[in-house]
Amino acid sequence: MTPATVAVEATLRRLFPVGVAVAAEPIGRANAQALWPEEQAAIAGAVPARLAEFAAGRTAARRALVGLGLPRLALPMAPDRAAIWPEGISGSIAHAAGFAVAVARQGNPLGVDIEDDAGIAPDLWPIICLPEELHRLGKGDTARQVKRIFCAKEAVFKAQAPASRALFGHEILSVTLAEDHFHAQFLTDAGAFRAGQTVRGRIVVQDGLVLTGVAV
């Protein structure tokens, strides 16, 4: 692995408790041969950039499974585009900024996200953030803080069990950022989450990347 990939994996370990296997892969050239037949069917017709992301994500996910002492397996795509993990295994995959990352464990759901640490355009702030979230940010680089809220909400969204997974928008979560963690409060029911429930996650910003993790 490259030094940059090793650094991303080390950051992932800081986001999650003991017992969670993590893996990172650089996103290279599109290569359908890196995929299993069930996975190739799910990504048939994809543009090269999407194929490259998908292949790197599945490679990282298989390495995470090996980290749990499990064999490398196909990870097909569910109707909602999430990966179908082996029975009893919870996992999450994300890709951005040249990397694919994956986390897995036995037991409760996990969520991970990775983004570049560039700011988000102001016209998108109201789509991602509630007025009170923007108010809490105060002075500073709001555009980059909004990106971190986006990354946090993505990790929470992914931390859902398949049987109770629900689609929901950014508007039902209110995120409060801290130095190395965040709190996300649900404003309405969503899947297995109840209104008023608070989910705690971790966040690390380094080397031009934002990484967030949630272990429910």
Per-residue pLDDT at 75 exceeds 90: yes
* Residue pLDDT, tens place only, 134-179: 999 977 899 999 999 999 999 999 999 988 889 899 999 999 999 8
**Cβ-contact 49, 98 below 8 angstroms:** no
pTM of the complete model: 0.94
Percent above pLDDT 90 for the chain: 84
What is the CB neighbour count within 10 angstroms for residue 115? Answer: 19
